[in-house]
Amino acid sequence: MNTLWNKVLELVAARMNPSSFDAWFSPTQQRSFQDGVLEVAVPDQYFVNWLKEHYMDVILEILRSFTQSDVRVIFTIDPNLTSRTSYEPEDLHAESTESRRAEIKESNAIQVIEEPIGLNPKYTFETYVVGGSNQLAHAASLAVAKQPSRAYNPLFIYGGVGLGKTHLMHAIGHAVKTQDTQGKVRIYYLSFERFMNELINAIRFDTMQQFREKYRNIDLLLIDDIQFIAGKERTQEEFFHTFNALYDTQKQIVISSDCPPKKIPTLEERLRSRFEWGLIVDIQPPDFETKVAILKKKAETEQIELPNDVAMFIATQIKSNIRALEGCLIKIAAHSTIVKEEITLDLAKRVLDDILDVKDPGSARSITVTLIQEVVANHYKIKVEDMRSASRLRNVAFPRQIAMFLARKLTDLSLPAIGQFFGGKDHTTIMYACQKVQAMTQEDVTLAKEVETLEQALHT
């Protein structure tokens, strides 16, 4: 079955030796993938621990390359899955086997939730390729890493999808950590979505005091994808206080977003002005040479033999998204391992030809929600910003619903994730739009043709 997890397994298989893969990954199965949560069943707790410890980073990285968003992985234990490992779990023998087994049995009922917390070891300044498109953002990040809270505070980095914002933030975190010989600096990297979830839980479980204390005690706060703050009043309020507390005590704040503060819809004025207190830098799409350099660096880190002509070919195929660029390289390398052929221009063309036909958000000619919004807005002669607005005027609302319908149909994103692209709309709004457009296209031939034309435009 072509499940998301099976696609992940294909790429994982290319990166490890077959017997380990057989032992640790073959007995796993996707149970569900819904609303950004991927549920994977494994035979026992030992698998959970091993996968978490050794492969979580890789799994999350591959998932991101497919979905272009953070996916949460939940492991559930299904003892009916046959383990092919011959392991002797050391920790089963270390303590009383009985008690440990009882613990494991009990944990069968528990779901272990793993999220991209902390810093990705691969995202450092050393692995970051600098070109004209990201020079300023890179220099500013270096300055902040050298002198936290004295260079620019806050540092606000913005740019399109997959252009390296997260990479730079992690690089700052790593550099600060390396300089911190006494291990005193408290660094916290998180997505804005996670901040919001923590806040919701704090409200729900009446632990606001602990929530506030935790955030007031951070020395370097790296907060990713702040654009999702749009329309979240209570979270804006709390983030405002967190920001002030950190700023007043001279703690460094680094923020990333897909647009500058003034373009974040419904952002409170007091927060907007604070985001503008420090330095705002953007990352532009990379030029051809930078794309080739990034591919070469990535190939070097992953120990992939990448001929020059292939690097140049990939760079011409991908417009700007660096994640998609890397995705192509990984797919070509995986293919070359599977078919036991060297990477050549011919092989690369065959692989890319295949994946260009796939409706896969991480792949080359990927259809993103932003692209859908642009194409639909252009067709109906409305502004792209209208896609994120709350306007109920029919000439705006209906094209917006068509864009929501196409986003659901042509991307792998969950309903809540799509909602975020439309100004933070609720998942029920997206579902309603999909059902409505679906029903209307069945009754109205002209509309059905119109939607089909839009779809074709997106595929070319």
Ligand X SMILES: Nc1ncnc2c1ncn2[C@@H]1O[C@H](COP(=O)(O)OP(=O)(O)OP(=O)(O)O)[C@@H](O)[C@H]1O
Residues that bind ligand X (CB under 6 A): 68, 123, 127-129, 134, 159, 161-167, 225, 258, 294, 297, 322-323, 326
Distance of CA 65 to the CA centre of its chain: 8
> C-beta of 162: minimal distance to ligand X in Å?
4
> C-beta of 127: minimal distance to ligand X in Å?
6
Contact between 234 and 266 (Cβ < 8 Å): no
Q: Which of 46/189 has CB closer to ligand X?
A: 189
What is 315-361 written as a DSSP string? Answer: HHH--S-HHHHHHHHHHHHHHHHHTT----HHHHHHHHHHHHTS--T
Give the strands of the sheet with 220-224, arranged side by side.
187-191, 220-224, 252-257, 155-159, 279-283
User: Does 381 carry a binding-site annotation?
Assistant: no
Count of beta carbons in the 10 Å neighbourhood of residue 317 = 18
Q: Which of 225/238 has CB closer to ligand X?
A: 225
Q: What phi and psi values does residue 411 have, to the nearest 5 degrees?
A: -125, 170
> C-beta of 129: minimal distance to ligand X in Å?
4
Q: Which of 149/227 has CB closer to ligand X?
A: 227
Rounded CA separation 366/300 (Å): 25
* Residue with the shortest CB distance to ligand X: 164
> C-beta of 122: minimal distance to ligand X in Å?
7
Give whole-number Cα distances, 307 to 89, 310, 386, 418, in Å.
43, 5, 45, 38
Q: Which of 14/402 has CB closer to ligand X?
A: 14
> C-beta of 194: minimal distance to ligand X in Å?
13
Q: Which of 28/141 has CB closer to ligand X?
A: 141
Rounded CA separation 451/110 (Å): 44
User: Does 327 carry a binding-site annotation?
Assistant: no
Q: Which residues are annotated as a binding site?
A: 162, 164-166
Q: Which residues are annotated as a binding site for ATP?
A: 162, 164-166
